[in-house]
A and B are shown apart, each in its own frame.
Chain A
Amino acid sequence: MLKFMSKLAPRSPWIYRINAGSCNGCDVEMATAALIPRYDVERLGCKYCGSPRHADVVLISGPLTMRVRDRVLRVYDEIPHPKVTVGIGVCPVSGGCFRESYSVEADISRYIPLDVIVPGCPPRPQAIIDGIVKAVDVLRNRIEEGVCSRS
């Protein structure tokens, strides 16, 4: 039964968005990638959810400013394992334009392991869909192996 469920689970990954101090560019692109019928991420079985407790795939945008750091980590810890983290834009991985700023904690992987990275400022909706497809593959492997993302 569990095997059957774990086979079905990656077919409908639920997506949760975290804005870690982003300039909103990537958030707009994430919203377009999911919500409007033109780029329709729901064809892949994905669904945006409002609660971190329901999520499988986490999309993080923004360079993790010091102001939101603790809140982001608290929300991230609420997401049940196995979870896959997708860094949207260049900010989570390097800081982008805000690199080496005094109030920015990028690289985000010091706090949260990034499994998939979608570079761009902001990335195209198609590139975000690309990243989600990669994240679903990671999620499938993770469910089969039964590993946690932060160990």
Chain B
Amino acid sequence: MFPFLKIMVRNLIQGPATDPYPFAPAHTPAKFRGCAVHDPEKCILCGICRHVCAPGAIQLRPSEDGSGMQFALWHNSCVFCGMCAHYCPTGALKMSTNWKLAHLGEERFDNAIANFIPFGQCAECGKRIQPRPRAITDRLGADNPDRFLLCPECKRTSVARLATEERRSHTQETV
């Protein structure tokens, strides 16, 4: 008898099933893939993000004076696949949980990340090289931190110098 009473009482206790957004904040899962965020401090300009970006949302353009590169990511082209964050060797690109990206049509080109990343400098000759932030020196340059900060030519010279010195000491020992 009165089977609806059970449902009515249950619904009265539980409240409405409707998600209250936009009148109350919406629940976002912790692993939700929203728009990408870029940390210019960690970026080493390797370009793997641009390579794996399927819709071509990421661009790396050299600046006019040649002092660095302009990193640009257009959210209106990004499909949130997260490949750039997956392949980024230093964790400079990450996917945030931000999905509130709706905007007016006039602001379409403002909805982007634009960061300038300056090149690094060779510790010996001062030539421009890829940036060497802490994020990459701690991992790849851990074995030989001094040589990791050199440009390719200085690195070759330093390796050759080291080899000659070793050889000289070796011959001196044998003599």
Task: Report which A residues bind B (CB closer than 8 A).
Answer: 37-40, 43, 85, 87, 90, 93-97, 99-100, 109, 113-121, 123-124, 126-131, 133-134, 138
Whether B75 lies near A119 (C-beta < 8 A) is yes
Q: How far is the CA of A51 from the CA of B57 in the complex (A)?
A: 36
Q: Which residues of B contact A43 (CB under 8 A)?
A: 18
Report the tally of A-B residue pairs with Cβ distances under 8 A: 97
For residue B102, CB closer than 8 A to chain A, the reply is: yes
Q: Which residues of A contact B103 (CB under 8 A)?
A: 116-117, 134
Query: With contacts A93-B77, A99-B77 known, what are 5 further pairs, Cβ within 8 A?
Result: A90-B79, A93-B76, A124-B99, A127-B102, A130-B102
Closest CB-CB distance, B96 to chain A, in whole Å?
A: 13
CB interface residues, B 90-107, toward A, < 8 Å = 99-105
Q: How far is the CA of A126 from the CA of B79 in the complex (A)?
A: 17
A95-B104 in contact given A119-B111, A120-B99, A126-B21 (Cβ < 8 Å)? no
Whether A38 lies near B17 (C-beta < 8 A) is yes
Whether B99 lies near A123 (C-beta < 8 A) is yes
A133-B80 in contact given A118-B101, A119-B101, A120-B101 (Cβ < 8 Å)? no
Query: Looking at chain B, what size class is its interface with the partner chain?
Result: 20 to 34
Whether B55 lies near A134 (C-beta < 8 A) is no
Q: Which residues of B contact A127 (CB under 8 A)?
A: 99-102
For residue B173, CB closer than 8 A to chain A, the reply is: no
For residue B108, CB closer than 8 A to chain A, the reply is: yes
For residue B145, CB closer than 8 A to chain A, the reply is: no
For residue B56, CB closer than 8 A to chain A, the reply is: yes
Q: Which residues of A contact B119 (CB under 8 A)?
A: none
Q: Which residues of B contact A93 (CB under 8 A)?
A: 76-77, 108
- B38-61 vs A, CB cutoff 8 Å, 1 = contact: the mask equals 000000000000000011110000
Whether A96 lies near B102 (C-beta < 8 A) is no
For residue B116, CB closer than 8 A to chain A, the reply is: no
Name 10 interchain pairs, CB-CB below 8 A, sorted by A: A43-B18, A85-B105, A90-B78, A97-B79, A114-B105, A119-B78, A121-B80, A131-B102, A133-B22, A134-B102
For residue B19, CB closer than 8 A to chain A, the reply is: yes
Whether B18 lies near A39 (C-beta < 8 A) is yes
Name the one of A109, A126, A131 contacting B19, with C-beta atoms under 8 angstroms: A126
Closest CB-CB distance, A130 to chain B, in whole Å?
A: 4
Q: Which residues of B contact A118 (CB under 8 A)?
A: 101-102
Q: Which residues of B contact A38 (CB under 8 A)?
A: 17-19
Name the one of B22, B75, B108 contacting A114, with C-beta atoms under 8 angstroms: B108
Instruction: Give the one of B17, B56, B102 with max A CB within 10 A.
Output: B102
